Amino acid sequence: MSPLEMIRLALSRLRTARIRAALTMLGVVIGVASVVALVGVGQGTTSQITSRLNSLGTNLLTITPTGRNGSSTTLSLDDADAIAQLPGVAAVEPELSTSGVVGAGTTTTTTTVIGTSTAYPSVRAYDLWQGTFLTDADEAAGLRQVVLGATVASNLGLTADAVGTEVMVGGLPFEVVGILQPKGGAGVGDPDNEVLIPIATAQKYFVGSNGSVRTIGLSVADGYDMTAVSDEITALLETRHGIAAGGTDDFSIVTQAQLLQTAASISGTLELLLGGIASISLIVGGIGIMNIMLVSVRERTREIGIRKAIGARAQDILSQFLIEALTLSLLGGIIGVLVGLAVSAGIARFGGWTFTFDPTTVAIATLFSLIVGIVFGVWPARQAARLDPVAALRYE
């Protein structure tokens, strides 16, 4: 019997027991759908994280305090001024931040209030939608001027006409001088859910004026090596902070490349973990196939005996039952792939990231379903092939 004829016969057998075949395939469908959906979620998360990191700015270095002698505020405005004098540093923006309530009329929203300098848009790669950014005069005088992130403006129901009006930041009136273009994002860490005020204003009204800063961001000038610039900054800050050679630094410097590498590593581990967990249900589906095939062998014992009596070889019987198991697993795999892609697309839409179709994941999931069919279908097929035709014909 040709393989095509065996496939036709296997499909005919499945049609005669539709409900049992559907229930048997259900385990494989759930397993494959889980693998495709969860891996798709992992890839979508990776894409979203990578997009956010890339949107933070080009040639970006971020310096944060690590704390020494129990202190976590080891960076200062003077450090930022000193770093700005180094060759290869295009722009520097020190930051202070706190959480605050911003209100316009009767509408309020909770957001991140960032005190920063005029270099913030160039370092962090922001563009203005309306108005202007903070000026050197605003920064020097500590004026109550504010630039709104796109999400904040949207939450407050503000439009382009809002420039020049007042909003309440932490209970104090601030003049809106600009609104930023949206970068895109949602949830925790949304780059558009922030308001920017002069750093002197943040010190005066919100976080105190001890001269320390939370973060120093800087962009490396084109043509300069980021590692070399990072080394120069390290040497400068060690000297300023009195850290001896070989001592423990009270700051850390992170580049965009390091952030992307870390994100890729974490996301890869997450994808493997999610795929491994989902594969367990696929194995359970394979056990279901083996169980139903063993039942099928017992129910068709006389048929096997008749086929052997009229000349069918053990290899023919083995191939027939193995192809039936493969047909079950393959159909379950195809349906599972379609269900998994639909679920992954739905989660991506709900989560606010772009759905990514990865043919490799689909191919691996389908191949794994075939392997499950082979592994769990061999034993029932061998049991059928080994039946003695005389004993099979006598079976009731």
The pLDDT, as a whole number, for residue 70 is 42
Report H helices in the chain: 3-16, 18-55, 77-84, 120-124, 136-141, 150-155, 199-202, 226-240, 256-299, 301-309, 314-351, 359-385, 389-394
Model pLDDT for residues 37-83, shown as the tens digit of each residue: 877 777 777 776 666 665 655 588 899 988 654 445 789 999 999 99
**C-alpha–C-alpha distance, residues 69 and 215, integer Å:** 19
Which of the residue ranges 67-71, 89-93, 203-207, 240-244 would you say has the lowest mean pLDDT? Answer: 67-71
Q: What is the mean pLDDT of the chain?
A: 81
- Find, among 83, 115, 85, 124, the residue nearest to 97 by Cα: 115
Confidence of residue 373 (pLDDT cuts 50, 70, 90): confident
Instruction: Give me the percent of the chain exceeding a pLDDT of 90.
Output: 27
The pLDDT, as a whole number, for residue 109 is 95
**Mean of pLDDT values over 126-134:** 92
Q: Taking 90 as the threshold, does the pLDDT of residue 116 lie above it?
A: yes
**Mean of pLDDT values over 353-362:** 76
